[in-house]
């Protein structure tokens, strides 16, 4: 499943995979914990939604959430507008970026 770019940097690919595995395991653990809390009637799904929205907008997490949303929008924009993508790539290459 390695991409060609990853074959030239196996150490980097292994580190990336380790990070992705950790994120996945954290998500699985969190989902199990939330299900346990809901199943035991300690908290409702609606309360979880409310807290999720509150935390997502907090100063600690808001910037990261915003970055991800903006980056996703940029990717979608360039996927829909390949000419603009090429123009941006050329602009960055010519400016040394």
pLDDT tens-digit map of 14-38: 999 999 999 999 999 999 999 999 9
Q: Is the pLDDT of residue 97 over 70?
A: no
Per the prediction, the chain carries an average pLDDT of: 94
Contacts of 57 (CB under 8 A, 6+ apart): 65
Percent of the residues in the chain that have a pLDDT greater than 70, as a whole number: 99
CB 85 within 8 A of CB 78: yes
**Where are the chain's structural domains?**
9-56, 59-97
């Amino acid at each position: 499943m390695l991409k060609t770019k990853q074959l030239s940097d196996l150490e980097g690919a292994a580190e990336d995979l380790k990070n992705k595995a950790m994120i996945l395991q954290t998500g699985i653990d969190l989902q199990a914990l939330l299900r346990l809390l809901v199943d035991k009637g300690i908290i409702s799904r609606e309360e979880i939604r409310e807290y999720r929205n509150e935390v997502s907008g907090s100063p600690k997490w808001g910037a990261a959430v915003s970055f991800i949303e903006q980056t996703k929008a940029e990717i979608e924009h360039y996927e829909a507008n390949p000419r603009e993508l090429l123009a941006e790539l050329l602009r960055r290459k010519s400016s040394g970026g």
